[in-house]
Chains A and B, each alone.
Chain A
């Protein structure tokens, strides 16, 4: 075992991208059944979200058959390769009740938080990843990680208390954050607490004291902002504590190599795809190395500005301006953009499935919730808003099913996810989007 260079093998996988290779299992890490650590702890659960903008066209996106062994129409064809790992949810709605339909905004806020926003500045509740992080994100270095493929830190669909979790947009910077000097390799043969970290922890305590002191001279609203600042310092303190503690070995953890360079600026589907792949590789290994258990990936913005080379309109504009091909019955270029998104989603799911963990894969111990901000973007519809899950959540979720929501709120999928992650929240969402029961067809 000692002569086997696992690091080299995995680097080959992640950089080459196309080959599935089961990692040699390091049995010393596992119990006899391979589904738990040798210490008896269960493999950690992970939760992720995957987002794309400008929805889909149900005519060429939604399978006609429900249940198992459903087909994949044109727009969802790329998902065929991960079909056994995913669930698809149709006929679920995002209800806005009396709130306005804020184009390309209302839909994603509802699917992520379960509540309809009253205006574009309104971010009600917390997004589902934040709720899950409160349950399973407290023991890792990062309570959650948010990344985007479009190169813009504002492209985030995760928020807590009205504040967006800013997206990591540069693969290089993200790599340094994850695996730079502050990274503690769980599989390192030796462990020596870094005295600099001890010093930093001591200095941080002074900064926290200063934060409390500053609260005395500001108004009520600014006190809240300083409380948020203080909470952030607490998270840092937690990071320092982890750095001073010997981590448990993790067989699946083999950090990827640093990206050579960030992809150049631009929103062509090709460039977005490149960024998506780099960010996916980093996120997958962040989860495998237990740096985080909650993550968010945004493929493109809700107002998707992804472009097709030589085509003069970006994705969003195309949804409103492309002629519906009378022969095909849909907008062919809009579908091209959707297909590009689905290709990346399939790659994302597949990347998690390639990491061997215990007697299954990282994907088996994860649950990924994928959503868009509308169904048919051309008319800003939130009815039949597309939703997916991927992964088995450590055996809590069945996969390979196409579920008919029959008009139920999409937040029912969110509530099922929360329950699978062990949340003790009695419900998810508000008003017509309130869900308090799981989708029995997929719950184990």
Chain B
């Protein structure tokens, strides 16, 4: 698999973030130098442009994620279509699986998975119960081909599946296949099912292939064509393919006017389907795909079950939707809010009784405030049997501030480490070895002081006062801001410019369907300022990006970005 953005991983969307990233790329250097540069990096990006600079994104060929594929099937065939998708996991690029979808390569086994899933979906869609209401015509003879009826049905379904690009030739070919199959199998519906299998395996359905046309407003430049714009919008806002109205707006040319695009975007933002889009984005950005393999040691954490893990993911997504979409709060408040939701399984972790999903506000003196103190963050970035300040600090840097933390430097002589003392009781004491050893200190100093502030929460996210009988000191620092505990860490993070610039960078990459690049720096800085002026309201940011010139303008891909490889398993 290739990683077009790999060579740019130290570059992020604002000047401030770039400075911090450069620090992290050299984190093995002495800590004093790291701290000095970090101070500069904390400066706000006040010099960013107030007018949208020239921007744009490359045209991408991205594979639908399994979630997008399922959402598409649900839209076309009904919400009750349930099937298992075993699509190969996507590589993460520039912090997002969605960006990896534009880079992922394929093996034979993966293609077989796509085909098997499509076959199962076609079979379900054409089962006897569903066909009654799904198929918009009746064949003259259910045991034979009926071209007219097949054309009517496949034309409607194919238009959505192909996201508007079902040509007459493709439709005719599909009808031919349906007819051949119906005659051979002596079953009209089996014929339709076969044709659907073909559609669902078509690269034009599984891949979103963006295409362009000359931009009349910018002579010499290209812009996405209407169907490509429609797909970008629907994948961004609904995590699904365009609906009929959006395709019609594309077909009429309305979508390519400022007014028409604004009307389409406002309709989509007002739709209940926006929630699915926002959930999908944060699920991706927060690395929640890791929940698929999360498990805890049942002897050490008896209250943590598979249901707890599932509910922890749901808790955070519910909180995000409630805060950002329902209450339209400032994005930064996610890291300080005491409002959330509890399920019975989470209640066992929180020490609070909950029946079903219940709104819950933690008391003012509670150590729980903000997403960092939710079980999703605490448990996901811990080991199976204990907490990990390093993993938590690394996750905060990488996921929320877009500051990649390098793996242990190559060629470290680990034999230089002292034989660990088995009598050490707390994580703080254990990690002291890393922070004082010059080989390890560079990186551990940028992760551990953050993660240590969360040490009042064990590897399952349960509150504790002590660790192995020793009292826990939860003080720490984040880029020179000192704090005493997790709640103060959240408050410090809330005010970090990198927090909001990181969200902007991720949303922009997600919206344009691929990794960001250094050339996007000016555009990202512009959106940083826009976001600030909007009071850090997510729906407003989504609207601004979706209506921007950059969203539709095509930028050529710089050669170096297409050569690097993606991460290992």
A residues near B, CB below 8 A? 100-103, 105, 109, 119-123, 142-143, 145-146, 150-157, 160-166, 170, 173, 177, 195-196, 198-200, 202-204, 206-207, 210-211, 214, 217-219, 221-222, 224-226, 228-229, 231-233, 235-236, 239, 264-268, 301, 305, 307, 309-314, 317, 320-324, 378-380
Contacts and interface: CB of A to CB of B under 8 A. Distances in A.
Contacts of A164: 1, 107, 568-569
B111 interface: yes
Contacts of A267: 293, 295, 384
Interface string B297-334: 11110000010000000000000000000000000000
Contacts of A232: 106-112
Given A163-B1, A177-B116, A311-B385, 7 more contacts: A119-B6, A145-B109, A154-B569, A206-B173, A222-B61, A225-B104, A228-B106
Interface in B193-210: 194-195, 197-198, 201-204, 207, 209
A157 B201 CA distance: 27
A394 B88 CA distance: 34
A180 to B, nearest CB: 9
Contact of A313 (B4, B86, B202, B383): B383
Interface stretch (B129-137, B260-268, B367-375, B408-416): B408-416
Contacts of A313: 383, 385-386
Nearest to A146: B109
Nearest to A305: B384
Given A120-B568, A214-B203, A379-B414, A200 B194 contact: yes
B564 interface: yes
B203 A206 contact: no
B195 to A, nearest CB: 7
A123 B3 CA distance: 12
A309 to B, nearest CB: 5
Interface string B95-133: 000000000111111111101100100000000000000
B381 to A, nearest CB: 13
B562 interface: yes
Interface stretch (B176-184, B250-258, B501-509): B176-184
Contacts of A154: 89, 569
B180 A166 contact: no
Interface of B: 1-4, 6, 59, 61, 84, 86, 88-89, 104-113, 115-116, 119, 170, 173-174, 177, 180-181, 184-185, 190, 194-195, 197-198, 201-204, 207, 209, 211, 292-295, 297-300, 306, 383-386, 407-408, 410-415, 417, 419-422, 430, 459, 557, 562, 564-569
Contacts of A321: 420, 430
**Pairs of residues from A and B, 3 with the lowest C-beta to C-beta distance, nearest first:** A232-B111, A100-B410, A121-B565
Contacts of B411: 100-101
A407 B251 CA distance: 68
A202 B59 CA distance: 32
A8 B89 CA distance: 38
Given A161-B105, A206-B198, A236 B111 contact: yes
B109 A123 contact: no
B458 to A, nearest CB: 10
Nearest to B309: A265
Contacts of A122: 565
Contacts of B59: 219
Given A219-B557, A313-B385, A207 B105 contact: no
Contacts of A320: 414, 417, 420
Contacts of B105: 161-163, 224-225, 228
B430 to A, nearest CB: 8
Contacts of B386: 312-313
28 contacts: A121-B568, A143-B108, A154-B89, A155-B569, A162-B1, A162-B565, A163-B107, A164-B107, A166-B109, A199-B177, A199-B180, A203-B195, A203-B197, A207-B203, A214-B204, A219-B59, A228-B106, A229-B106, A232-B110, A265-B294, A307-B385, A310-B385, A312-B300, A312-B383, A312-B385, A312-B459, A320-B417, A324-B419
